[in-house]
Amino acid sequence: MSDDEPIKAKPAKKKKMTVPSDLLDSAKSYDDKLIMVKLLAEREKGRVMLILKKMLAPEKPKKKS
């Protein structure tokens, strides 16, 4: 590395958005829980997609030993 080359800064890591725990604790009614699920699905699209994908995937038959 020579003195003429600029120092490249590492790109900042994207902070993972989380659902505040006080919102999870305060969701008592069905409507509150529905709002929480919508909020979670909006913020964590990839995780929700993987959960649904696993839920909908056919079960693999278990091998008998």
Q: What percent of the chain has pLDDT over 90?
A: 12
Q: Which of 17, 16, 23, 54 is nearest to 37 (CA)?
A: 23
Is 58 exposed, middle or buried (CB count within 10 Å of its CB: 0-12, 13-18, 19+)? Answer: exposed
Structural domain of residue 29, as residue ranges? 21-56
The tens digit of pLDDT for each residue in 11-25 reads 666 666 566 667 667
Mean pLDDT for 5-9 is 69
- Tens digits of residue pLDDT in 39-62: 888 888 998 899 889 999 988 877
CA atoms in the 13 A half-sphere facing the CB of 63:
1
Instruction: Tell whether 49 is covered by a domain.
Output: yes
Contact 23, 35 (CB under 8 A): no
Whether residue 35 contacts residue 27, with contact meaning beta carbons closer than 8 Å, is answered with yes
First to last CA, the chain: 60
Domain count, the chain: 1
In a domain, 30, yes or no: yes
Domain membership of residue 48 (yes or no) is: yes
Q: Is residue 1 in a domain?
A: no
